[in-house]
Structure 1
C-alpha cells in the first residue's frame, strides 16, 4: 500500500496575509481559496511538489498556535538560485550553509510572518530527476494522464 503525504496544515493568524506571503513572495501556486459563512480555507502548492500546504480557520486547522510549525523542508536543485529568488521577492532568508559536501548537505531557511519556519535543502540531483516530472504536473482539480 502506498502512503503519500499530500497536505501540511500551516497555522497562521491572518489567512489573507498568509496567502499573499506564500503565493506572492514564496511563489507557491494558489490551488483554491474557499470562503463561505462557515469557513475560510486555502490550499497552496510549491511548484513541482506533490504536497501542498493548507491555511484555514476550521477546528483542525486552528489546533496549533500560529507560528508553531517548524522543521518542514522544501527541496530545490540549486540553493543559491532559490535563495536569490526568495530574497528578490522580499523574503528574509538565512545564509546558505553546507553541512556536508555530498548532495543534500546544503541548506538555508526562512520564516513566514507568523514565525513558521522552513528549511530549504539543495539536492542537485533533482535538476535531472525531479520527483514529479514536468509533463505530469498539473494544478488542483485537473485530471492528468498517468
Structure 2
C-alpha cells in the first residue's frame, strides 16, 4: 500500500494575499477556490509538476500563520528557479551549496505571513 502526501495546509492571515503570492509570484497553479460550506473557504494551489498541493483558506487547519517552516520544493536547475522567483518579485536568498553532492544546493524564501520555504536542486531529476 502506498502512502502519498497530497496536501499541506499553509496557515495564513489573508487568504487573497496568500493566493496572489503563491499563484502570481511563486507560480503555483490555482486548482480550486471555493467556499465549500459557510465559513470554510478552500484555495488549493499546486506547484508545476507536483503531485502534492497546498491549501490556504478560512476554517482550514489549526496552525498559526508563519508557523509552517522548511517545506521543500525540488527543482532540477536552482539558478533558473531562483531567477524565476526574483523575476516574479519574490525575495529569495542567494544560492547556498551545503554539499557538492546532488541535492546539496538550496535557496530559501518566505511568504507574506512568514511561512518558510526551501527550494532544493536535484539535478538527477532533470527531464
> Which bin holds the TM-score, normalised by the shorter protein?
over 0.9
- 1:98 lines up with 2:97 in the alignment: yes
The Cα shift of 1:99 comes to 0.8
Aligned to 2:33: 33
- 1:82 lines up with 2:81 in the alignment: yes
The Cα shift of 1:125 comes to 1.1
Aligned to 1:8: 8
The runs of 5 or more residues in structure 2 that have no matched partner are: none
TM-score (norm 1): 0.84
The Cα shift of 1:37 comes to 3.3
Stretches of 4+ aligned residues off by more than 4 angstroms:
none
The Cα RMSD (Å) is 1.0
Distance in 2 (alpha carbons) for counterparts of 1:127 and 1:28: 19
Aligned to 1:47: 48
TM-score (norm 2): 0.96
Q: Greater strand share, 1 or 2?
A: 2
Distance in 2 (alpha carbons) for counterparts of 1:32 and 1:93: 27
Larger Rg: 1
- 1:125 lines up with 2:124 in the alignment: yes
Q: Deviations over 1:8-37 (max 9, x none)?
A: 000000000000000000000000000263
3-state SS in 2 of match to 1:110: strand
The Cα shift of 1:95 comes to 0.6
3-state SS in 2 of match to 1:53: strand
Aligned to 2:57: 56
The runs of 5 or more residues in structure 1 that have no matched partner are: 129-146
- 1:19 lines up with 2:19 in the alignment: yes
Matched positions, count: 126
